[in-house]
Amino acid sequence: MNNYEVFNCDVLVIGAGGAGLRACIGAMEKGAKVGLVTKSLLGKAHTVMAEGGAAAALGNLDTEDNWEVHFRDTIRGGKFLANWRTVEIFAREAPERILELERYGAVFDRTGKGLISQRAFGGHKYRRLAHVGDRTGLEIIRTLQDKAVSMGIFDYPELTIIRLLKDGDRISGAVGYRRMDGGIVVFKAKAVVLATGGWGRMYRFTSNSWESTGDGVVLALRAGAELKDMEMVQFHPTGMIWPPSMRGILVTEGVRGDGGILLNSKGERFMFNYVPEFYRKETAETLEEALKWVHDKKNYRRPPELLPRDVVARAIYKEVQAGRGSEHGGVYLQISHMGADYIRKRLPSMVDQFLHLGNVDITKEPMEVYPTIHYTMGGVTSDPETCATNVPGLYACGEVATGLHGANRLGGNSLSDLLVFGRRAGEAAGEYAMQNESGEISESEISEEVNLLMEPLRRESGENPYQLHTELQDTMQEHAMIARTEEGLKRALEKIHELKERAKKIAVKGDTCFNPGWHQARDIQVMLTVSEVIVRSALERKESRGGHWRLDYDLEDPYWAQHNIIARLENGEIKLSHRKVPEMPEHLKKIIEG
C-alpha cells in the first residue's frame, strides 16, 4: 500500500504529556530531529489533570529533607517492589529537574524567602511537593510545551499510533492514523520513545480521560518488549462520588495535605483505626496530635489521612462495606474547618469543581468521596539509566514505564518521574539515533495493520464498540478493582475472552473523518489486551501488596516481596513469568532501615 504520508526523523516520541515533552527536549538537546505524536491537541494530555504537586527533596521548608529520605519514602511506599536503582536516580535528580523547570518558565508558589514552596502529601515524611495551588500539572505541561515548541518540535496532534515498525530486532518507526481525516502517516525513526501514559478507561469509575487506553503497553508488547507488574493499578482514595455525572473525578490529595480529614457516617475520624504497624512510628496517635500537625509540622506527627494511598483506599472500602458509608456510598472528606480564605487560596480549582459541578461549597460542607482508578504502577520494563527497553531503539518513560513506584505510587512522585525519566529517555534515544543508521520499514506490516484498522468501517452490521466498552468497564469494575478474588478474576478473564471474540465483528457507520465510533472500535481492541494482562497478572500474584489487594490472600507474602511478574507476547499469547527484584546494595539498605 502506498497511500500514506511519510515523516522522517531521528527520534519519534509517542505521547505529549510531561514525559513525552521532556523527552523531546532531551533528544533535541542531543541534536536529534524529533517528531512528536499525540492523540489530543498539544497541552491536553493527562498531565494537565495532576493537581497536588511534584515531589523533590529541595528542603525549602523542611531543611532536614534530602534525597535519601525521599528514596526511603518511595521504596517503603512502593512496598519494596520498586527497582532500587530507578528510585535512587529519581530521588537524586528530582530537585535539579524542578529547578530547571523554573528556568524554563514555570512559576511555582513561593516560600517567605522567595524559594519554591513545598506541600505535605501522603507517604512523604517532609513537605516535599513543589506546587502551584492545585493546578501543578497544568503549569508543568504548559512550561514543557512552550519549551519544546520554542526549540522547534515537529508535532503531529490528534494522531493515534497503531503499530511500531521493526527492521529485524530493532525499531525502525511507527504507523498511525490522523483522527481528523483518517489519513495514514508512517514515521521513519531511528529510535522511538513511548510516553503514552497509563490506562484507566477499562474501569467504570476512573479519573482518566478517553486517551488512557494503554496504547503504549500494547505497542510495546507487540514489538517484543516486556511488561512488568501489570496487576499494580492505583485506586486513588478520593474520587468524587456524587452527582453521578462527576463520579470518578479526582479530588486532590492536597485536600488532606492541607488539613482535610476523613469521616464516616457516624462522624468518626476512622483512619485512626487503620494505621499499619509499619507506619505507626511516624503517624499521629491522637486527634489532638493530628490537629496540631496542621499548624506545626516540625513537632507533631502527620495525621493518618496522609498514609500512602493504598492504605487509605482500603480503609474507605472497609468503612463502606461495614455500613458506615455516606449517603451515596462513600465517606466524607471535610476541610471546611480550615477556613474559607485558606481553602480558596490553597485549593482554588477544588472549590470551583465542587461548586460548579457538584453544587457543594467545600468551604462550608464536606465532600463525598470514594476510591477511583487513578494510576498504573506497572508497565513497560525499562533500564533505570537510559529507559531503554529490551527492544533496541525502543525507550519508555513516565506512567507507561515501570520500576519507580513498585506496588503503590506516592502522590507527587509522578510529576517528578516525568521530568527525571523523560529527560533520560530523550537523551538516550537522541544519542542512540545519532549513532545509528535508519532501519527499513516493512510495507507488509503497514498494510496488515491498516487493513485491521479499516475493517469495522467495511462491515454492514455487527457489534457496537461502545456496548463492548461498557461491558468491559462493568467487568473490570466488579472483579478487578480494589478488592480482588480468584473467583472474580477468573470470571473477568472469561468475559474478556468473550469480548475479544465479539470485538472481531465490530461494525461502525460513517467514514474516517473524525468518527468517534471508529476510534472507539480501535481503542477497545487495545483495552481488551491490557485488561487481559492486568487480570492474568492479578491472578498470578497470590498475596496483597500496595494497589493489589486479594481478599483470598489478605497478607503480604515473602516470596512475592521479592518477585516481579513479567508479561510477554509469544506467538500471540500472553506468557507470564516471575523475576527476582534486584537486590539493593548495603549502603542503600541502611537508608531504608534508618
Partner 1 sequence: MATVTLNIFRGNQEKGYFQSYTVETFEGMVVLDAIHKIQREQDASLACRWNCKAAKCGSCSAEINGKPRLMCKTRIDSLPIEEPIIVTPLKTFPVIKDLVCDVSWNYEIARKIPPLKLADEGSKEPLRMMQEDVERVQEFRKCIECFLCQNVCHILRDHQRKDIFFGPRFMIKLAALEMHPLDVEDRSEFLKEVAGVGVCNITKCCTEVCPEEIHITDNGIIPLKERVADVYFDPIRGLLRWLKTP
Catalytic residue among 124, 142, 236, 548: 236
Q: Using DSSP, how many helices (H) and how many strands (E) does the chain show?
A: 18, 19
Q: Contact with partner 1 (CB under 8 A): which of 32, 508, 528, 569?
A: 508
CB-based contacts of 109-112 (< 8 A; 24+ apart in sequence) = 109/133, 111/60, 111/61
In whole angstroms, how close is the CB of 475 to partner 1 at the nearest point?
A: 17
Q: Contact with partner 1 (CB under 8 A): which of 5, 29, 31, 110?
A: 110
Neighbours of 359 (CB within 10 A): 10
Q: Contact with partner 1 (CB under 8 A): which of 1, 6, 41, 340?
A: 41
In whole angstroms, how close is the CB of 147 to partner 1 at the nearest point?
A: 7
Give the whole-angstrom CA distance, residue 553 versus residue 417: 31
Task: Indicate whether 522 belongs to the interface with partner 1 (CB under 8 A).
Answer: no
Find the binding residues for partner 1 in span 526-565 (CB under 8 A). none
Stretch that binds partner 1, among 93-101, 226-234, 397-405, 555-563 (CB under 8 A): 93-101
In whole angstroms, how close is the CB of 117 to partner 1 at the nearest point?
A: 8
Instruction: Give strand pairing partners of 570.
Output: 573
Catalytic residue among 256, 314, 502, 550: 256
Query: In 105-244, which ranges are continuous DSSP H helix?
Result: 136-151, 215-222
In whole angstroms, how close is the CB of 192 to partner 1 at the nearest point?
A: 23
Give the whole-angstrom CA distance, residue 46 versus residue 250: 12
Query: Helices 67-77 and 586-593, interaxial angle, to 10°?
Result: 80
Cell 477468573, located at residue: 490
Question: What is the radius of gyration, based on Cα positions, of the chain?
Answer: 23
Residue 256 appears among annotated catalytic residues? yes
Give the whole-angstrom CA distance, residue 26 versus residue 42: 18
Who contacts 455 (Cβ-Cβ below 8 Å, separation ≥6)? 506
Task: Indicate whether 354 belongs to the interface with partner 1 (CB under 8 A).
Answer: no
**Is the Cβ of residue 10 or residue 134 nearer to partner 1 in the bound state?**
134
Task: Indicate whether 352 belongs to the interface with partner 1 (CB under 8 A).
Answer: yes
Task: Indicate whether 427 belongs to the interface with partner 1 (CB under 8 A).
Answer: no
Who contacts 156 (Cβ-Cβ below 8 Å, separation ≥6)? 7, 35, 36, 37, 38, 176, 178, 185
Strands 5-14 vs 184-194: parallel, antiparallel or unpaired:
parallel
**Is the Cβ of residue 4 or residue 466 nearer to partner 1 in the bound state?**
466
In whole angstroms, how close is the CB of 517 to partner 1 at the nearest point?
A: 3
Q: Contact with partner 1 (CB under 8 A): which of 182, 183, 392, 516?
A: 516
Residue 563 appears among annotated catalytic residues? no
Give the whole-angstrom CA distance, residue 19 versus residue 38: 12
Who contacts 277 (Cβ-Cβ below 8 Å, separation ≥6)? none
Give the whole-angstrom CA distance, residue 199 versus residue 373: 9
**Is the Cβ of residue 96 or residue 365 nearer to partner 1 in the bound state?**
96
Contact string (CB under 8 A) for partner 1, positions 307-346, x = contact: ----------------------------------------
Task: Indicate whether 156 belongs to the interface with partner 1 (CB under 8 A).
Answer: no
Closest residue by Cα to residue 136 from 7, 28, 252? 252
Size of the site for partner 1 (CB under 8 A): 69
Task: Indicate whether 8 belongs to the interface with partner 1 (CB under 8 A).
Answer: no
Contact string (CB under 8 A) for partner 1, positions 207-246, x = contact: --xxx------------------------------xxxxx
Residues making contact with partner 1 (CB under 8 A): 40-46, 48-49, 58, 96, 99-100, 102-105, 107, 109-110, 113-117, 132-133, 135, 137-139, 142, 146-147, 149-150, 157, 180, 209-211, 242-246, 249-250, 349, 352-353, 356-359, 464-466, 470, 508-510, 513-518, 520
Which residues form the catalytic set? 236, 256
